[in-house]
Amino acid sequence: MTFSGTHLADLQAPLLGVNIDHVATVRNARGGVFPDPVRAALLAVEAGADIVTFHLREDRRHIRDEDVARLKQAIAVPLNFEAAVTDEMLAIIEQTRPEHVCLVPERRQEVTTEGGLDVVGQFGRMQDACARLAAAGSRVSLFIGADPAQIEAAARAGAPCIELHTGALANAWWAGDAALLQSELARLREGVRLGRSLGLRTHAGHGLALSDDLPDGRSPSEPSSTALVAALPDVGELHIGHALIGRAVFVGLRQAIADFKAEAIRARHA
């Protein structure tokens, strides 16, 4: 499944946010400056990425502060700055003034972001962060599970957007657990509907992949996790990192981005 036709970009589909964190992960494994995540971001934009996503973590395990400054200077498409809701990160965001911000939960010991924000339990902090970052000119999204109480709290907190965590759906898809996959898809579908009813722009991401990259023994004709989520008509953006960068190891970054964009377009117009 390979596509390079730029005419596909003219069709309506979720916008694709390409997360470049794992280019920085490879760089940081040896230290130094190669491979450069900013160079990857520039190539991603040339290849059709609508948004460049990155996560500045407290421990700086991949993206570094100097990367953020260089991305702001070099990248013409909107930047989506993922960060924890800490005073340090809020101050950096206010200084950087990215077009988009996605506030996420963060634990130092986790391998990747596990679950969504507890907007209900930390409502005052989330409300303050949304107001503070809106004043800095950034569109704020809260990264949450597809839970009605969390979605409703996000709307009350003043977030114009939510990004629904698709990790459980993606894990069920990788495992070939059809029952759990359908249950998670139904939960996500209802979350998207609720978000729309509350006037929220709804995005989705975490763990989404393509069927070509399934392990041996699984049919590549199965709908991909990316296609399942992209088919939901009110999902406005998909943010994809690990699987896209992993695919790029085999087919190149340009082709990987083209493949994910084509998958989203096919799914939306099926």
Per-residue pLDDT at 214: 85
Based on the number of CB atoms within 10 Å of its own CB, is 265 exposed (0-12), middle (13-18) or buried (19 or more)? buried
Residue 216 pLDDT > 80: no
The structure tokens 């939510």 sit at 162
| Annotated catalytic residue, options 22, 82, 163, 184 | 82
Amino acid at 208: L
How high does pLDDT run on average in the chain?
92
3-class SS of residue 54 = strand
239 is catalytic: no
Distance CA 69, CA 128 (A): 25
82 is catalytic: yes
206 is catalytic: yes
| Annotated catalytic residue, options 100, 206, 237, 263 | 206
Write down the pTM of the prediction: 0.91
Give CATH for domain 14-269: 3.20.20.70
Domain ranges of the chain: 14-269
Kindly indicate the confidence band of residue 215, based on its pLDDT and cuts at 50, 70 and 90: confident
Across the range 110-115, mean pLDDT stands at 54
